[in-house]
Every structure is written in C-alpha cells, then in structure tokens.
Amino acid sequence: MTWEELELTCKNCTECPLHETRTNCVFGTGNRNAKLMFVGEAPGEKEDLSGIPFVGAAGKLLDKYLEAVGIDRNEVYIANILKCRPPKNRDPLPAEQDKCIGYLREQVRLIRPKIIVCLGRIAAMRLISPDYKITKEHGTFVDIKGFTMTAVFHPAALLRDPRRKEDMYTDMKKIKEYLDRE
C-alpha cells in the first residue's frame, strides 16, 4: 500500500464508532523519511479540529522539549495509535486500538524509523509491553522486531504533574544522543 492509499483508507475508515463523532481523521504529521517517530495514544480536541497530532497544550510542551534538546519537529514523524478522538478525551478502548493499530503499523512500515518513542503509558503498553510501567521504565531503550523503542511521559501528564518534567528532559536528551549515533 502506498502512503496516499493508506491515508485515504484511514480517512474513510468506519471500523469503530469513533468515526461517527470525529471532525477530522488525525492521520499523522511530519517527515515521512524520519529517523525518529513519536506515537501517542489518541487525538484530543484541538487535534480533532485541526487534523494534526499534538497541536494543543501537550503538543506545545512537546515542541519545547524537542527544541531544548536540538530535535527539529520538521524532521520527525508524529502519530497516534487511534486516528479519531475518543469522547471527552477518555483513554482509548482496547477494541478501538485493535481496529486502528493496523494504520500505525503501515505508517511504521513505510517510514522505517530508527527510533520509535511512545508518548505515555497507553502507547507504551500497546507497543512495547502490556505490563509496561512508565514511572519505572521511561527512557529505557528496547529492541522489538527490528525497531529501537522507548517511552517517555506523555506531555499532557507533565502538565498535570510537573514533578516529572526533569525526567522527561533527561529522557529526551538520551533520545537525541541515541539518534546522533545512528
């Protein structure tokens, strides 16, 4: 499947009830040849309105971290497991993730990033390990099916609990160092 075919298929998806309430399918954004890919859980309200992931308050915080460690947002690719917003920004249901994960897998197949960074607990539990503990394992690199993966705190969680911001900065510096070695 080509990138254009994948995006069109995703935008026309009716596999779960979330398509009924979406304003936009939030497919992803960034460099399709990126070495670094960030994956969140699902779009929020601002993302649903714009069709672009991580443009709200959490996205602005992510941008600050990228800038702080010298990563150009235009050089990465950012996506979510879900392409449609869950009502009231609730956590994505396992059945919704199951219906949508194929789109993300195809994005990863086409991009072939060197590093995949899970933004938050839900993405890490889906992509790295079902029993992933973000508070203990964040910033740890693992190899899964030929991809180097890690997880960091979700920027929205940092907005709620600023005590983890230093951990995020340390993890982002490690990601930049790893990327520079590639």
Residue 182: the pLDDT is 78
Residue 89 is predicted with a pLDDT of 87
Does the domain at 3-181 match CATH 3.40.50.300? Answer given as no
Domain ranges of the chain: 3-181
Cα distance between residue 80 and residue 39, in whole Å: 5
Q: How many CA atoms lie within 13 A of 121 on its CB side?
A: 10
Tokens encoding 90: 């609730």
**Eight-state DSSP code of residue 91:** P
Each of the 182 residues of the chain gets a pLDDT tens digit; together they read 899 999 999 999 999 999 999 999 999 999 999 999 999 999 999 999 999 999 999 999 999 999 999 999 999 999 999 999 999 889 999 999 999 999 999 999 999 999 999 999 999 999 999 999 999 999 999 999 999 999 999 999 999 999 999 999 999 999 999 999 97
pTM above 0.85, yes or no: yes
What pLDDT is recorded for position 150? Answer: 98
Whole-number CA gyration radius for the chain: 15
Tell me if 73 sits within 8 A of 179, measured CB to CB: no
